[in-house]
Amino acid sequence: MIRAVLFWLLMSSAAVAQSFTGLARVDPTESRVVDTAGGIDLTLALSQIVPYRVFTLEAPERLVLDFREVNWGDLDTLDFDQAKHVTNVSFGQLRPGWSRMVLELSEPMFLNLASATVEDTDATAVVEISLQRTDAETFAGLSGAPVDPQWGDLFAAPTLQAPNYDDDTLVVVVDPGHGGIDPGAEHGGVTEADLMLTLGIEVAEALNRLDGVEAILTRVSDVFVPLNTRMTIARQNNADLLISLHADALEAGQARGGSVYTLSDKAASVAARRMAERHQRGDLIAGLDLTEQDDRVASVLMDLARAKTGPEGVRFAEVLVANLMENDVRLHRNSLRQGPLAVLNAADFASVLFEVGYLSNDRDRSILLNEDTRKPIVDALAQAVSDWLAMRGLR
């Protein structure tokens, strides 16, 4: 029997937020998305109703569902996604208290129906969403992330506390890639997000043991942090250097070993572009509105500042590779590389992306999973920062 039917169709800024408690669990056996004649139907069975909202985004076309808060349990992407019109599904925690599911759509579709029905007998809830194919122009008019103070700014950078270090301290921002709804590369039950967090914490601890160095982490838990927020954290802390930590996974090939990337503004190779895409899909996967992030005037001004920080980043990359070799860390054939990586785009501090190895390579994976075999990597990073600091004549 149906007790309540709630229509929380939030196409723009209308808000529905009530106080519910507890964590709703998803029932994987009753949850799926399927093709229909005119679009898709999505059904999500929950152990109880929680506030939710739903909206679409363009470039690329995506459907986003926010919940407060859902335990995804054993939900399996392949079982859940039975629709040809849904090209990718991701779900997970967005921030503490917030869960999100994002479906990448094969074409523009508008929200035709969003409803939640609660069963009288056991209070379980079924969320049903129906999308209908439409043209790009109509879709664009109906799409966009809702601006709603009640739901807050999910991605605001944490408010900066006054740094307790002095001006001549070298500030190194350690950036564990991915997190939360965006696990990054996955292989053999290991996710890049988890592994980079573990490594990042070890690196930050090693750096903080150095004299005159302060390490700041962009995340300290399995939480999603947008690219822009990572940069904002660095900027707010007056970073001198940003080290973004990643690991790759390739389906084919024998790729292995670490590489250190600096920014390339020249035409990148296909391989470098694909690599950048793999590490940068986070904002897309997490359902961020990407349509307003192009600022060409700012980028011209940034090019000027980058004339200084660019070479400093390259120098750090060289020093890091030298120290990795010194410590017998497995490196890729081309250990110093360049790529069109947005996380290296900042002009006001030097930055590198350190791809520590390949999760798809058994030996690399086992090295990265073991604290003892990670130590030479951590030590090389600390020594490289120390060397770089000496080279800059700051000390």
Selected from 177, 179, 180, 258, the binder of Zn ion by CB under 5 A is: 177
- For Zn ion, the closer of residues 95 and 279 by Cβ is 279
Distance CA 137, CA 148 (A): 24
The least CB distance from residue 192 to Zn ion, in Å, is 5
Look up residue 355 and give its two tokens: 């791809």
The least CB distance from residue 199 to Zn ion, in Å, is 12
- For Zn ion, the closer of residues 214 and 248 by Cβ is 248
- For Zn ion, the closer of residues 16 and 342 by Cβ is 342
What is the pattern of x (binds Zn ion, CB under 5 A) and - over residues 18-47?
------------------------------
Of 119-127, 140-148, 175-183, 385-393, the window that binds Zn ion (rule: CB under 5 A) is 175-183
* Per rule CB under 5 A, count of chain residues that contact Zn ion: 4
- For Zn ion, the closer of residues 6 and 342 by Cβ is 342
**Strand 109-119 versus strand 70-71 pairing type:** unpaired
Beta carbons of 250 and 194 less than 8 angstroms apart: no
Burial class (CB in 10 A: 0-12, 13-18, 19+), 360: buried
Looking from the CA of 180 toward its CB, the CA atoms found within 13 Å total 26
> Quick one: CA torsion of 189, 190, 194, 197, rounded to 10 degrees?
170
Cα angle 353, 199, 272 (rounded to 5 degrees) comes to 25
Selected from 187, 246, 256, 330, the binder of Zn ion by CB under 5 A is: 246
Per CB under 5 A, which of residues 254..283 are in contact with Zn ion? 279
Of 32-40, 150-158, 179-187, 322-330, the window that binds Zn ion (rule: CB under 5 A) is 179-187
Report CA-CA distances (Å) from 15 to 8, 18, 51, 147, 150: 8, 10, 10, 9, 7
Selected from 39, 184, 257, 340, the binder of Zn ion by CB under 5 A is: 184
The least CB distance from residue 379 to Zn ion, in Å, is 22
Report whether the peptide linkage leading into residue 60 is cis, meaning its omega lies within 30 degrees of zero.
Answer: yes
Q: Phi and psi (nearest 5°) for 70?
A: -125, 140
The least CB distance from residue 337 to Zn ion, in Å, is 14
Q: Which residue has the tokens 């790009």?
A: 136
Of 69-77, 147-155, 240-248, 267-275, the window that binds Zn ion (rule: CB under 5 A) is 240-248
- For Zn ion, the closer of residues 68 and 279 by Cβ is 279
Secondary structure of residue 207 in the 3-state scheme: helix
> Quick one: CA torsion of 233, 236, 242, 247, rounded to 10 degrees?
0
**Strand 109-119 versus strand 2-6 pairing type:** antiparallel
- For Zn ion, the closer of residues 94 and 276 by Cβ is 276
Of 107-115, 139-147, 180-188, 332-340, the window that binds Zn ion (rule: CB under 5 A) is 180-188
The least CB distance from residue 365 to Zn ion, in Å, is 15
What b/e readout covers 81-95, taking b as 16+ CB neighbours within 10 angstroms?
Answer: bebebbeebbbbbbb
Of 40-48, 122-130, 141-149, 169-177, the window that binds Zn ion (rule: CB under 5 A) is 169-177
The least CB distance from residue 203 to Zn ion, in Å, is 16
- For Zn ion, the closer of residues 68 and 246 by Cβ is 246
- For Zn ion, the closer of residues 85 and 279 by Cβ is 279
Of 20-28, 53-61, 63-71, 238-246, the window that binds Zn ion (rule: CB under 5 A) is 238-246
Applying CB under 5 A, the residues found at the interface with Zn ion are 177, 184, 246, 279
